Structure 1
Amino acid sequence: MDYERVADLPVTIDGYELSQHERHTSSGFERVTTTVTLRGEGLVGRGEDVTYDAEDHHALAASALPALAGEYTIDSFSETLSEMNLFPSGPQRPPSRRYRRWAFESAALDLALRQADRSLADVFERDPDPVQFVVSTRLGEPPTIDRVDRLREVSPDVALKLDPTADWTAALIDDLAETEAVEILDLKGQYAHADVHQPANPRLYEQLLAAFPEAIIEDPAFSEGTASRLRAHADRLSWDVPITDASSLSTLPVDPAWINVKPSRIGTIEALCGVISYCTDHDISMYGGGQFELGVGRTQIQTLAALFYPTGPNDVAPAVYNDPDVPESPPQSPLDVDVPESGFTPT
């Protein structure tokens, strides 16, 4: 994914608008995001700010950012953003700066492509393929297999990404293993700024590695009690939270075999291109990841998956899977992504 293919794309911005969205999720929290709409030459480009703290969204809505009107290239617009404070107050957590940066950069890319009457597929000379996806879901408190059973009723071939916790019992682990549906176990051992952080748990890790011998293990915590066992399974370890640019790939506890590519966690188009290029050059397998997007952010990560890593276990399932109630007739994997003829997102 050569950044030079988009760096010099011109984009004219006349102004911007912000709109908030809210939805209750299957993980038990009220999700708030902000859609950034850039306007120019009678066209619009959109991106989505997936910052998790609602107060950061409310502060943005109540404040005025510096004017963005002007003529740019994608690269010069990114440079302009780097010199701006996109948080009138806050943020509550440092990673949110990258989330908001991505919202504005992806909106600018969407607008630049529309103004040039070109698509992302055209610019990178790639044809989209149907996207294999997994469904990420929580199991409740206390955790049970009930939601998994319901998902398998409406989608018998569903593939799952689950977040193990210390209160998973041996019986629950055995029941989940019997479904043969679990493709990714996200141990959430790399979070420093989120309530979902799970510390290293040697007993749980040992149970999971044995019960799910084919599953990808995402973001494990390396400790004195887990490091040697994890290194023995390095070929199925994956990384999400630590990945912010290509250089971060060389700072991991083991040489990476899998990477969860989250554009919003990476923050800039240039850094995203660098990560994908590095993984391609070093034979590191990729899959896309989501952050409970409520709008255009979801279609953008699906578009990237269709173009660059369609056969991975992409955590980009249609947003209906994040609703509290399991949908009756949800879209099935593989997903035919509506890659637009111009722009980054469908109109």
Structure 2
Amino acid sequence: MPESLWSRVADLTLTIAEHRWENVAPPGEPEHGRYILHLSDGTIEGLGEEVGGTMIDGDGAFLALAPSLPLAGTWTLASFSDHVAGLDLWAEPPEWEMARRLRRWAFESAALDLALAQSGRSLAEALGRVSKPVRFANSLGLGDPPSFATIGRRLERYPALRFKLDAQPSWSASLTAEVAATGAVDVIDFKGRYGLEVEVEDEAAVLAMYREVIPRFPDAILEDPHDLPEVAELLEPHAARVSFDAPIATAADITTTIVNVKPSRIGSVRALLDIYDHCEQTGVRMYGGGMGEREVARGQIELLASLFHADSTNDVAPSPYNQADLPAGLPQSPLVPGAPAPGFRWS
């Protein structure tokens, strides 16, 4: 049995003297804040991002309790992970269970960053991997009402840009055909596994969407299809293209030959590395994704993609690609890594 990836970092030592949280929000958009955790030994700092931020902490209860959390001390990465797992990080239970993993990832990613920086090693060095140029896609919906212009403007400025698109029953047949004709779509995300599928009011429209989309995009990955018998029947001939994202938190959750690996949704370094081990040992194809990371975590998911699935179409486009109108001069795919630097950071 080969040495596990987790075993290569579990015993890293980290010393924490202090910690603080920072709420970072776009100008004029306090509801879109991301929480940044700073772990420090007084000189070296490790950073993690909680992508849930103000979305799952609207009343600021977590920011109020966070300064009193007992994080100081000398730990191994494994013992710190166990310690955080035992902390009560919620003034009230979260509405979504997934929120627990989003919050935990901020602690785990900051701890990994600090432990690596204190040891003077990069993540690539610690794991025995080589960072490669990262292919990426621009992930977005087509608007409400949906319009081809959403991607048309992007392709005018960046003709080689690839896309991961959120499909909607409101897509007309003509719009679907126009989008497909670009040949620029690598992933179609149906967002059918977020627990929202129970709210589907027009099942006929949902099924019509699948009947239109599946043949129009014969080479695209089909992500998170709805858990409906009729959808399963439509997808059966295309099983090799089906991928899951929302249900994946551990290696045991993987049931397809393609999977979208989202570190913040998985929540812990050990579970993430176990998933990488499982996929490489079983031949499961991976691509990377995010949960709206904008700050340090955006670089962290780009780094992980460069180490484990650089040649896939990764949903890790630089943050400016989230803008409605793309400025000139943005980095284009593939993203070329810089020299490895100590810590859990993209350089």
User: 1:323: which partner in 2?
Assistant: 323
1:5 counterpart letter in structure 2:
R
- Find the aligned partners of 1:226 and 1:258 in 2 and give their Cα distance: 18
User: 1:63: which partner in 2?
Assistant: 65
Matched, 1:228 2:230: no
TM-score, normalised via structure 1 length: 0.92
State the Cα distance separating 1:196 from its structure 2 match.
Answer: 10
More helix by share: 2
CA distance 1:18–1:198, change in 2 (3 Å): farther
SS at structure 1 position matched to 2:134 = coil
User: 1:35: which partner in 2?
Assistant: 36
- Find the aligned partners of 1:91 and 1:236 in 2 and give their Cα distance: 33
Identity of aligned residues (%): 39
CA distance 1:197–1:281, change in 2 (3 Å): farther
- Find the aligned partners of 1:256 and 1:335 in 2 and give their Cα distance: 28
User: 2:111: which partner in 1?
Assistant: 108
RMSD: 2.3
State the Cα distance separating 1:41 from its structure 2 match.
Answer: 5.1
Worse overlay, 57-66 or 119-128? 57-66
State the Cα distance separating 1:247 from its structure 2 match.
Answer: 1.1
- Whether the 8 Å contact between 1:45 and 1:107 is mirrored in structure 2 is yes
- Which runs of structure 2 are paired with 1:278-297 in the superposition (5 Å)? 278-297=278-297
State the Cα distance separating 1:299 from its structure 2 match.
Answer: 0.2
SS at structure 1 position matched to 2:47 = strand
- Find the aligned partners of 2:31 and 2:149 in 1 and give their Cα distance: 22
CA distance 1:294–1:198, change in 2 (3 Å): farther
Instruction: Give unpaired runs (5+ residues) of structure 2.
Output: none
CA distance 1:163–1:288, change in 2 (3 Å): same
Worse overlay, 4-13 or 38-47? 38-47
- Whether the 8 Å contact between 1:190 and 1:241 is mirrored in structure 2 is yes
1:221-280 residue CA offsets vs partner (Å, 9 max, x unmatched): 13121112212111111110010001111xxxxx41211000111000110011111111
- Find the aligned partners of 2:324 and 2:312 in 1 and give their Cα distance: 26
User: 1:162: which partner in 2?
Assistant: 165
- Find the aligned partners of 1:346 and 1:227 in 2 and give their Cα distance: 39
- Find the partner of 1:22 among 22, 25, 28: 25
- Whether the 8 Å contact between 1:189 and 1:198 is mirrored in structure 2 is no
Worse overlay, 123-132 or 335-344? 335-344
CA distance 1:97–1:338, change in 2 (3 Å): farther
- Find the aligned partners of 1:113 and 1:231 in 2 and give their Cα distance: 45
- Whether the 8 Å contact between 1:185 and 1:218 is mirrored in structure 2 is yes
CA distance 1:21–1:324, change in 2 (3 Å): farther
- Find the aligned partners of 1:66 and 1:105 in 2 and give their Cα distance: 14
Provide the aligned length of Structure 1 versus Structure 2: 340
- Whether the 8 Å contact between 1:303 and 1:339 is mirrored in structure 2 is no
State the Cα distance separating 1:208 from its structure 2 match.
Answer: 0.7
- Which runs of structure 2 are paired with 1:75-224 in the superposition (5 Å)? 75-192=78-195, 201-224=206-229
- Whether the 8 Å contact between 2:193 and 2:227 is mirrored in structure 1 is no
User: 2:345: which partner in 1?
Assistant: 345
TM-score, normalised via structure 2 length: 0.92
State the Cα distance separating 1:31 from its structure 2 match.
Answer: 2.4
CA distance 1:196–1:40, change in 2 (3 Å): farther
State the Cα distance separating 1:197 from its structure 2 match.
Answer: 8.1
SS at structure 2 position matched to 1:192 = coil
- Whether the 8 Å contact between 2:116 and 2:344 is mirrored in structure 1 is yes
- Find the partner of 1:12 among 10, 15, 27: 15
- Find the aligned partners of 2:264 and 2:258 in 1 and give their Cα distance: 18
- Whether the 8 Å contact between 1:135 and 1:161 is mirrored in structure 2 is yes
- Whether the 8 Å contact between 1:240 and 1:262 is mirrored in structure 2 is yes
State the Cα distance separating 1:336 from its structure 2 match.
Answer: 1.1
